Chain A
Amino acid sequence: MSERLTSDEKALRHINDEYLTKYGFHDTEEFYSIKGEKGLSEEVVRWISALKGEPEWMTEFRVRAYHTFLGKSMPAWGADLSGIDFDDIRYFVRATDKQESSWDEVPSEIKDTFDKLGIPEAEQKFLSGVGAQYESEMVYHKVREDLEKKGVLFLDMDSGLREHPELVKEYFGTIIPPTDNKFAALNTAVWSGGSFIYVPPGVHIDLPLQAYFRINTENMGQFERTLIIVDEGAFVHYVEGCTAPVWKSDSLHSAVVEIIVKKGGRCRYTTIQNWSGNVYNLVTKRAVAYQNATMEWVDANLGSKVTMKYPAVYLMEPGAHGEVLSIAFAGSGQHQDAGGKIVHVAPNTTSRIISKSISKDDGRASYRGLLKVHEGAHGVRSNVVCDALLLNPESRSDTYPYIEVEENDVTIGHEASVSKVGEEQLFYLMSRGLSESEANTMVVNGFIEPLAKELPIEFSLELRRLIEIQLEGSVG
């Protein structure tokens, strides 16, 4: 009931009415600078690296990862990935040769895209910095000057590698090695774009940094790579958003995100993903948190054809705290296989996983989570809650909670619930004058409220708005 709510609500209201008009548009590609051929080979990997003028160690790292990718089989669990044809994907598309720090310098076709998505406006209003990735590379990047002066680095990953090779070399691929899984290997081989963030000791970034990822080309593969280093006692809230046009055939988004939170630091990573219904979204995200550090993943998965994503936190030293707050919305034809992973390596570490999934029509939402307590990790406290809401009789929800505990003196809570939007609930709300769809939206909004209220108001409104779009109609 805050005054702010209405004015912001109004500001956001005009933005969209449904996915097709708001996100589903696509630009002509006549202005593109480089558009790679379809298919993947060692040559393509070397070509991407050469285009970027990378140091040799990175080229070789990519090539090794490419061979790892070839040697790994597809995951035999989770969602159906049989529709992915690695030969029918463009692995690198460069829309513009230069990255800009002023929107006026960004090619107008691309700027229009981000205007439509409301990014420059949001930057003015409530962000500390913005990165905008279009296809394979960042086309815009800017961080507030005062933060830059304090030594905050917020660059695209390519510039990060160019300008801070020592930092990148120290951490790149150490949290998620290419051998972790087939898609981590693929990303390491052909990565492009993504964010590189370094927050110096004690620096507290008040407003979020946001990156926005946009796929425009059909059959495009987007492989951004993000590395965030939060030094001792520092804080950052990083937010990413993603959309793509509605195409007839599929695109692949396969990112890798590695985060290091040092002693007493805190990192919050919020994803509001809103892919069109023809994107395979297969992302590996992992953070390590050291002494008294806090890592929080807030992961909202809307849209896509298939999402497989389980943000992880490894609690490496005493006092570390990890959280995964996951929201998944599976509409018609969609499978959201999402959840989280917390590994208690050190004693006296704490964690919580809250997962809320909503399935509509024949959509399927699965919660898949791992909570692991290593031997010697005494005094661990953790709580896992997963709630599912089914909107239609044919909607589906599954829960795969894995809990592995190798220590005795731990406190672990686990609750799971599945509920349906009941006739009685709808009738009650409708008897007060709400239409059936308003009543449905209200029940869903109430369901996600415990997570939505953790977000800054702008993002929580955006999330609610996106869910409303999903509730209103079929997407893609």
Chain B
Amino acid sequence: MGATLEIRNLHVSINGTPILKGVNLTINQGETHALMGPNGSGKSTLAYALMGHPAYTVDAGQVIFDGEEVLELEADERSRLGLFLAFQYPVAVPGVSVANFLRSAINARRKSQNPEDQGISIPQFRKLLTQKMDLLGIDHKFAGRYLNEGFSGGEKKRNEILQLATLEPRVAILDETDSGLDIDALRIVADGVNKLKGPDLGILVITHYKRMLDYLQPQYIHLMMDGRIVESGGPELAEEVETAGYKPFFEKHGVEVTEE
């Protein structure tokens, strides 16, 4: 039995402004879900709130992951529990190499399971990282580069996927991993995610575009508007959005259209 991420009636605000107004969503390990919706509908807020960003205030609701109350936990504890967020805008950390960073992240996980743990050995880590880089078709030199410093848009996103591959979470949220990528870069990133798909990984991919979904083939599509999931369905829902746009859904669900 895999782990389940269960979001119940989640309300989240930023600086007193309510953004999420009662989100319900259940993701099982092994499933791929897509969350679509117009700008400002709250998709990224959901991603950040699930990972525990301190600027997001949870006003009501529950998030249960593998039986644990996620909202009580700090971001690092959520990560060690098996949640992962691929950032839309990954942050640069000058002077810290990708390899050094990933090794520290792995060691933090090991230590939380066993306080006596001495950390992964260098050869063992090197083997693991090389294997993951090869799987994703990433140049080995990447390991020595400083985290996201001077990375192109595509490199940043691939780096997020490399972290996903290395840390092996149980549920990963991909926050607009397709944004800012040209068609080739998008395919490379999507191919990477596809290689990681499997019974042990639940995915919530947040996107505006159907192109990403054509690659990832999610089983479930959710449509978010004004801080709520207004409609859920199969791949046909994404087709509908693609042909008709969001407008008919606004009307159908009585959501006011706000110009960005």
Q: Which of B51, B91, B100 contacts A1 (CB 8 A)?
A: B100
Q: Tell whether, in the assembled complex, residue A446 and residue B95 are in contact, meaning their CB atoms are under 8 Å apart.
A: yes
> Nearest chain-B residue to A425 (Cβ)?
B91
Count of B interface residues, CB-CB < 8 Å: 42
Residues of B within 8 A of A435 (CB): 76, 108
Compute how far the CA of A3 lies from the CA of B126 in the bound complex, rounded to whole angstroms. 10
- Of the candidates A3, A446, A450, the one having the most CB atoms from chain B within 10 angstroms of its own CB is A446
Q: Which of B54, B87, B108 contacts A423 (CB 8 A)?
A: B54
> Nearest chain-A residue to B86 (Cβ)?
A431
Q: Is B39 at the interface (CB under 8 A from chain A)?
A: no
Digitize A426-453: 1 where CB-to-B-CB distance is under 8 Å, 0 elsewhere. 0111111111101100110111111000
Q: Tell whether, in the assembled complex, residue B126 and residue A442 are in contact, meaning their CB atoms are under 8 Å apart.
A: no
Query: Which residues between 394 and 447 of chain A lie within 8 Å of chain B, taking CB atoms?
Result: 422-425, 427-436, 438-439, 442-443, 445-447
> Nearest chain-B residue to A421 (Cβ)?
B93
Compute how far the CA of A439 lies from the CA of B75 in the bound complex, rounded to whole angstroms. 12
Compute how far the CA of A432 lies from the CA of B80 in the bound complex, rounded to whole angstroms. 8
Report the minimum CB–CB distance from A275 to chain B (whole Å). Answer: 26
Residues of A within 8 A of B95 (CB): 445-450
Q: Is B123 at the interface (CB under 8 A from chain A)?
A: yes
Asked whether A1 and B122 contact (CB < 8 A) given A428-B93, A438-B108, A446-B94, the answer is yes
Q: Tell whether, in the assembled complex, residue A433 and residue B96 are in contact, meaning their CB atoms are under 8 Å apart.
A: no
Digitize B147-172: 1 where CB-to-A-CB distance is under 8 Å, 0 elsewhere. 10000000000000001000100000
Q: Tell whether, in the assembled complex, residue A430 and residue B143 are in contact, meaning their CB atoms are under 8 Å apart.
A: no
Q: Which of A433, A443, A446 contacts B76 (CB 8 A)?
A: A433
Q: Is B99 at the interface (CB under 8 A from chain A)?
A: yes
Compute how far the CA of A358 lies from the CA of B177 in the bound complex, rounded to whole angstroms. 34
Residues of A within 8 A of B71 (CB): none
- Of the candidates B75, B112, B144, the one having the most CB atoms from chain A within 10 angstroms of its own CB is B75
Digitize B76-90: 1 where CB-to-A-CB distance is under 8 Å, 0 elsewhere. 101110001101001
Q: Tell whether, in the assembled complex, residue A449 and residue B121 are in contact, meaning their CB atoms are under 8 Å apart.
A: no
Q: Which of A5, A442, A450 contacts B104 (CB 8 A)?
A: A442
> Nearest chain-B residue to A387 (Cβ)?
B94
Residues of A within 8 A of B91 (CB): 422, 424-425, 427-428
Q: Tell whether, in the assembled complex, residue A432 and residue B122 are in contact, meaning their CB atoms are under 8 Å apart.
A: no
Q: Which of A6, A427, A439 contacts B53 (CB 8 A)?
A: A427
Asked whether A442 and B76 contact (CB < 8 A) given A1-B144, A428-B90, the answer is no
Compute how far the CA of A428 lies from the CA of B149 in the bound complex, rounded to whole angstroms. 14
Q: Which of A433, A436, A446, A449 contacts B109 (CB 8 A)?
A: A433
Compute how far the CA of A447 lies from the CA of B149 in the bound complex, rounded to whole angstroms. 12
Q: Tell whether, in the assembled complex, residue B121 and residue A429 are in contact, meaning their CB atoms are under 8 Å apart.
A: no
Residues of B within 8 A of A427 (CB): 51-54, 75, 91
Compute how far the CA of A442 lies from the CA of B121 in the bound complex, rounded to whole angstroms. 19
Count of A interface residues, CB-CB < 8 Å: 29
Compute how far the CA of A1 lies from the CA of B100 in the bound complex, rounded to whole angstroms. 7
Query: Which residues between 238 and 284 of chain A lie within 8 Å of chain B, taking CB atoms?
Result: none
Residues of A within 8 A of B87 (CB): 428, 431
Q: Tell whether, in the assembled complex, residue B74 and residue A430 are in contact, meaning their CB atoms are under 8 Å apart.
A: yes
Report the minimum CB–CB distance from A329 to chain B (whole Å). Answer: 15
Residues of B within 8 A of A448 (CB): 95
Q: Tell whether, in the assembled complex, residue B93 and residue A443 are in contact, meaning their CB atoms are under 8 Å apart.
A: yes
Compute how far the CA of A434 lies from the CA of B112 in the bound complex, rounded to whole angstroms. 10
Report the minimum CB–CB distance from B89 to chain A (whole Å). Answer: 8
Query: Which residues between 30 and 84 of chain B lie within 8 Å of chain A, taking CB atoms?
Result: 51-55, 74-76, 78-80, 84
Q: Is B101 at the interface (CB under 8 A from chain A)?
A: yes
Residues of B within 8 A of A423 (CB): 54-55
> Nearest chain-B residue to A428 (Cβ)?
B91
> Nearest chain-B residue to A448 (Cβ)?
B95
Residues of B within 8 A of A6 (CB): 119, 121-122
Residues of A within 8 A of B112 (CB): 433
> Nearest chain-A residue to B118 (Cβ)?
A10
Residues of A within 8 A of B74 (CB): 430, 436
> Nearest chain-A residue to B119 (Cβ)?
A6
Report the minimum CB–CB distance from B215 to chain A (whole Å). Answer: 24
Report the minimum CB–CB distance from B175 to chain A (whole Å). Answer: 11
Q: Is B97 at the interface (CB under 8 A from chain A)?
A: yes
Report the minimum CB–CB distance from A368 to chain B (whole Å). Answer: 24
Q: Tell whether, in the assembled complex, residue B122 and residue A3 are in contact, meaning their CB atoms are under 8 Å apart.
A: yes
Chain B residues within 8 Å of A, Cβ to Cβ: 51-55, 74-76, 78-80, 84-85, 87, 90-91, 93-97, 99-105, 108-109, 112, 119, 121-123, 126, 143-144, 146-147, 163, 167
Can you report 11 residue pairs joining A to B where beta carbons are below 8 Å apart?
A423-B55, A427-B75, A430-B79, A431-B78, A431-B85, A432-B108, A436-B74, A439-B76, A446-B93, A448-B95, A450-B95
List of 9 A-B pairs having minimum Cβ-Cβ separation, nearest first: A446-B95, A449-B95, A446-B96, A433-B79, A430-B75, A432-B105, A428-B91, A430-B76, A433-B108
